[in-house]
């Protein structure tokens, strides 16, 4: 019995960890001229190191609410920063006058609505929301 629990518990934890991860995609408006972006370009946009897309047009990144699984997964895979590291990074940037964090919206539906309406915006949404109004620009 003890051996069964020692095997079952770690397997269940692994399953729930994978299930908790969102299936996300980085998108721009279907009206945007932006094509595929590299991991470095995405990281630079969301860390305020770049303010425009590769074609020179203004880029306005949208972040989901702090603590959301999509946000944690997105930043873990693109900027390499945890929630705490991201908070510290932006505190330093704001304090030194070097920048301000991306606009924060509650969730994927809000990102979808704003991005679809504005070719300057870029954000990440749950893959299930992908439709003709959005264009994926980065593969995780």
For residue 11, the model assigns a pLDDT of 44
Q: How confident is the model over 106-133, as pLDDT tens digits? A: 999 999 999 999 999 999 999 999 999 9
Architecture of domain 22-138: 3-Layer(aba) Sandwich (3.40)
Does residue 139 surpass a pLDDT of 90?
no
Domain ranges for the chain: 22-138
Coil, helix or strand for 63? strand
User: Whole-angstrom Cα distance, residue 50 to residue 73?
Assistant: 21
Alpha carbon distance 51, 76 (integer Å): 21
Q: What is the pLDDT of residues 4-56, one digit of tens each?
A: 545 554 444 444 444 445 699 999 999 999 999 999 999 999 999 999 999 99
Q: What is the pLDDT of residues 48-93, one digit of tens each?
A: 999 999 999 999 999 999 999 999 999 999 999 999 999 999 999 9
């Amino acid at each position: 019995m003890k051996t069964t629990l020692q095997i079952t518990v770690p397997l269940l934890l692994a399953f729930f960890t994978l299930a908790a991860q969102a299936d996300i995609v980085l998108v721009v408006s279907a009206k945007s001229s932006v094509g595929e972006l590299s991991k470095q370009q995405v990281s630079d946009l969301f860390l305020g190191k770049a303010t425009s897309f590769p074609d020179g047009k203004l880029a306005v990144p949208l972040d989901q609410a702090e603590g959301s699984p999509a946000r944690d997964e997105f930043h873990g895979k693109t900027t390499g920063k945890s929630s705490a590291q991201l908070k510290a990074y932006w505190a330093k940037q704001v304090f030194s006058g070097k920048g301000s964090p991306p606009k924060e919206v509650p969730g994927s539906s809000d990102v979808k609505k704003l991005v679809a309406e504005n070719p300057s915006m870029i954000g990440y949404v749950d893959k299930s929301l992908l439709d003709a109004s959005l264009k994926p620009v980065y593969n995780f």
